[in-house]
Amino acid sequence: MTGPILALRGVSKSFPQGGLLDRLLGRDSRLVALDDVSLDVMRGDVVGVVGESGSGKSTLASLAVGLARPTLGDVLLDGQSMAELMRDHAGLWRRRVQMVFQDSSSALNPRKSVDRCLGETLALRGVPRAGRESEIAELLTLVGLGPEIGPRLPHELSGGQRQRIGLARALAMKPEVLIADEPVSALDVSLQAQVINLLSRLTRELGLTLLFISHDLALVRTLCSRIVVMRKGAIVEQGACLDVLDRPQHPYTQTLIAAVPKGLAGRRKTWPAPSAVAPETREDIHGAA
């Protein structure tokens, strides 16, 4: 197909605020997490989604993977509506779109070994019991781990190993779209580099479409071909990653780049200096951080 593999069409998502008493007294209000967002993700794209905390990045990821439903609008997979697929074939969506979560500790069951975790995922995909052991070994090799990891429980693994197991579990479903929601934010710098290099290699080797949610512009610049900048639940700028980061058009994007510590911003002499950013916008982002 020539169209986008994943698309959001006029998607909004809101959540109720306040307690039961507020609702009984008619004081119910809603928090708008996404506001009329439209986005096309083409097959094979590596798209970075950036913005400060509360900008709607994780809500967008939850909608794309099917963990939440939009309040308005629709999410499409190869032109098919999520609303229709989830009603009749929810398993199809979840096989084709998988997610790697930010917190690898809470994403893995502490009572299940690596072998059992991956084996249960393979069973969901319909892999016969006899074939699971060899496929588990292949998955561990794919993410740079050895078979000795299989019997271990999550607490016996390092943070980097747990994140790789989370990635292996997602890949066990043989997805076409992988959504990584801040997958390295809890890791130290050396482990971040390992996981980013792994994601880069896997997108090339497996032909995955990757939606990479992050607040780290340096990582996005390293990994992604396209970038989407979000602010207060809306997309304010998007385009080729290097174009947007080197020549940002929106004041908020300029602010994000100006806020990068000098040690990182100094890698690119063309990144705008803080003085180039509108004062009111700079104050807005630092106030919201």
The 3-state secondary structure of 70-88, one letter per residue: CCEEEEEECCEEHHHHHHH
Give tens-digit pLDDT for 259-278. 887 654 444 444 444 334 44
Indicate the pTM of the whole model.
0.82
Q: Which residues pair with 7 in a beta bridge?
A: 40, 76
Q: What are the angstrom distances between the C-alpha of 20 and each of 15, 16, 32, 68?
A: 14, 11, 19, 22
Cα–Cα dist 146/160, whole Å: 14
Sign of the C-alpha dihedral, residues 173, 174, 177, 182? positive
Residue-range domain boundaries for the chain: 6-246, 250-289
DSSP structural state of residue 232:
T
Q: Does domain 6-246 have CATH number 3.40.50.300?
A: yes
Give tens-digit pLDDT for 186-220. 777 777 888 888 889 888 888 899 999 998 898 89
Give mean pLDDT in consecutive 10-residue pieces for the chain, a chain of 289 residues.
87 81 68 92 94 91 90 92 74 84 81 94 92 93 90 91 91 93 80 84 90 90 94 95 94 90 50 40 38
